[in-house]
Amino acid sequence: MRKKLFIFFITILIISSYFIIQNKNNSRFSWAQLLFQEQNETLNAIDTAQESVVSVISSKELTTIIRNKETGKTKINSGREKITSGSGVIIDENGLILTNKHVITLKEKYSVILNNKEIYDAEILAKDPIRDIALIKISPPKNIKLKPIHFADSRKLKVGETVLAIGYPLGKYINSVSKGIISGLHRDLAVKGLNNEPIVLNNMIQTDAAINHGNSGGPLIDLNGNLIGLNTAIDAGEDLGFAIPSNELKKSIYSYKKYGKIIRPKLGVRFIMIDPMIAKFLGLPRKNGAWIHSGDGKPSILKNSPAEKSGLRDGDIIFEVNAIKVTEDLPLSEIINFYEPGQKIGFKVQRGNKILIIKTTLGKFEEEKN
C-alpha cells in the first residue's frame, strides 16, 4: 500500500512540475510575443509618419568681404546662414504645414526641409492668438507628392499609452525618433515667452519621450502613426515633454480654412482648475470646476471682455457650461473652444453659498499679425 502511495505522489509531482515548466515557457513566449509585437508597431508607426515630418529653418543673408593683402583687391562673398531650426508636420497635399508659433518668431526667411532632403521656401500663413500654433506653406513642383499625417482623437488618449516623438533635435539630427509613454493629461505648464513674460500653457499632453530643442513643432504620434499632439515645450529639470493635443490643432486648422485666419472664442477670464485636494486646501465651496483667479496678481477678469459684461467675478467657480460639467478631464478652456465667436453660452456658477445662472456672448481673439 505504501509503495502504491509513494508511486502516486511521485507521479503527481512529475505531472505538476511539467505544467509549471510549461506555464513558465508559455509566459516567456507570451512576453516575447508582446515585445516583438510592440517593436513591429513602433517600426510601422515611424514608417507611416516620418514622410510627413519636416524641418523648419530660418536663415539670413550673410556677406563676407575678403581683402587680398598683396594685391589690395577685395572679394565679396554672399550667401545665407542658418539661424534657428525647429520641426513641422505636413497636414495636406497642397503643402500646408503645422508648427509652433515660437519656431517662426524671427523676421527672417524660412525654409522647409522634407524627409527626402529637398528644401523649399516657406510662407507664413497664420498664427494662433492664444496657443503656440502656426501654419506655414510650401509650394513644391506638382510631381512632388506630399504625404499628410493622419490625426487621432486626443479625447481618447489614456495615461500609459506608448507614444513616439519625431523631430529635428538640436538642429542637427533630422527626423530623429524617441519613445516613451503618456505620463499625464490636461497639464498646465508655466513657461517664459519671448520677452521673458510668464505664459501658461493649458491642457497639455505630458510625455517622458525625449524632446530636445529643435523638436518643437514636430509630431507626437501613437503606435498607429497618427498625430496625437504637437511637441511644444520641455521641463528640462524633470526630463518631461509637453505637446498640444490634436483636437486643439484641428480647431486652429478649421478656423484658418473657414476664415482665412485663426480666431478663437473669447471669454476673458483667468482661472485655476480645482479638484477635491485644492478645494480643501483653499477652503473653496466646490470640489471641481474652474475657479476664477489669476494666481499672479493680474486681473482675473479681462477688461471689456464677455466675462466682465456678463457679471462674472473674481472668486466665482464655473462648474457647468451649457450643461457640460467642467472637470479636470474636460477643463473650461477646452469646453469654450467647442464654440464659435459670437455664440451665446450659459454658465452655472458657485458664488459663496449661491448657485447662479449667467449668460454671455463669446467674443473673439484675433490672430497675431506677422
Selected catalytic residue, list 128, 132, 222, 316: 132
Q: Give the Cα separation of 201 and 206 in Å (integer).
A: 12
Selected catalytic residue, list 55, 85, 216, 305: 216
| CA-angle at 244, arms to 55 and 202, nearest 5° | 140
User: How far is C-alpha 343 from the chain's CA centre?
Assistant: 27
Pull the grid cell for residue 155.
479625447
* CA proximity to 92, closest of 250, 223, 247, 224: 250
Would you call 37 helix, strand, or coil by DSSP? helix
Continuous H helices in the chain: 2-49, 246-259, 276-282, 306-310, 332-336
Q: 150 catalytic, yes or no? A: no
Compute the half-sphere exposure of residue 192: CA atoms within 13 Å on the CB side of its CA. 3
Q: Give the Cα separation of 275 and 280 in Å (integer).
A: 9
Contact predicate 146/98, CB 8 Å: no
Contact predicate 367/253, CB 8 Å: no
Torsion sign, CA atoms 192, 193, 196, 201: negative
* CA proximity to 189, closest of 176, 174, 207, 203: 203
Would you call 35 helix, strand, or coil by DSSP? helix
Q: 183 catalytic, yes or no? A: no
Q: Give the Cα separation of 189 and 43 in Å (integer).
A: 31
Q: 216 catalytic, yes or no? A: yes
Selected catalytic residue, list 52, 58, 87, 102: 102
DSSP per residue over 143-209, as a string? T----PPPBP-GGG--TT-EEEEEE-GGGTSTTEEEEEEEEEEEEEEEEE-TTS-EEEEEEEEEE-S
Buried-state track 323-349, b at ≥16 Cβ within 10 A, e below 16: eeebbeebbbbbbbbeeebeeebebbb
Q: Give the Cα separation of 121 and 200 in Å (integer).
A: 32
Q: Give the Cα separation of 307 and 336 in Å (integer).
A: 12
* Residues with active-site annotation: 102, 132, 216
